[in-house]
Structure 1
Amino acid sequence: MKKIDAFIRPEKLEEIKAHLQELHLNGLSVSQVMGFGKQKGWKEYVRGTEIDYNFLPKVKLEIVAADEQVENIVSKICEVAYTGSVGDGKIFVSEVLDAVRIRTREKGMDAIK
């Protein structure tokens, strides 16, 4: 099992969700987050004072999937999230050692199906 953390532009969320539903995912978590990378944010002047907004709104998708699904999921997110501009986002893939469904105590892949 792998965990996919994808940080994307907020305006791409609905389109990405629609495409990911075609892949029959077992689940998806979405969080609104703030951060920066190369994009760095922006500066504004308010009443003559410079204000540095160095955190930008992003959406974080969290998906736990079977190893064989990961490449398709990552490819689909990249395809839909791409604009060609700085700030398109990042995807991190990490190993999941185990999963447990609390209600039934199922473990591993049975817990995420």
Structure 2
Amino acid sequence: MQLIRAIIRSEKSPVVIKALFEAGYVAVTKVPVVGRGKQRGIKIGDITYDEIPKELLMIVVKDEDKDFATRTIIDSARTGEKGAFGDGKIFVSAVEEAYTISRGTKEL
């Protein structure tokens, strides 16, 4: 299994969640986050905003679904045809174990 964490623009969150749902990935965790990437914040006049609001989406997929799920996020989170600075970042990592609390069972 793979954990996909996508940090995306807040206004893109509903679009990405809908795309994931339509692609068959109904389980998603959404967390509001703030931070900055390579853009080092946004400067407007003399004021620099370096804590930019974003959304963190987390989904766990089967190993063989990783590329499709990642492409679904990229295609739906991208601003415009070519994308824009600040569209976000995706991190993928292996999930060693997962458990369903209500049943107390280990997921495979």
TM-score (structure 2 length as normaliser): 0.88
Provide the C-alpha distance between the structure 2 equivalents of 1:80 and 1:60, rounded to a whole number of angstroms: 14
Q: Does 1:102 align with 2:98?
A: no
User: Structure 2 unaligned runs (5+)?
Assistant: none
Partner of 1:19: 19
Q: Which runs of 4+ in 1 moved over 3 A?
A: none
Provide the C-alpha distance between the structure 2 equivalents of 1:52 and 1:16, rounded to a whole number of angstroms: 28
Q: Percent identity?
A: 39
Partner of 2:91: 92
Q: Name the Cα RMSD after superposition.
A: 1.4
Letter in 2 for 1:108: E
Provide the C-alpha distance between the structure 2 equivalents of 1:73 and 1:108, rounded to a whole number of angstroms: 19
List per-residue Cα deviations over 1:5-59 (Å, max 9, x = no partner): 00000111111111111122251000000011122222356xxxx5432110110
8 A contact 2:9–2:77 mirrored in 1:
yes
**Greater strand proportion:** 2
Partner of 2:61: 65
**Greater Rg, structure 1 or structure 2?**
1
TM-score (structure 1 length as normaliser): 0.85
User: Structure 1 unaligned runs (5+)?
Assistant: none
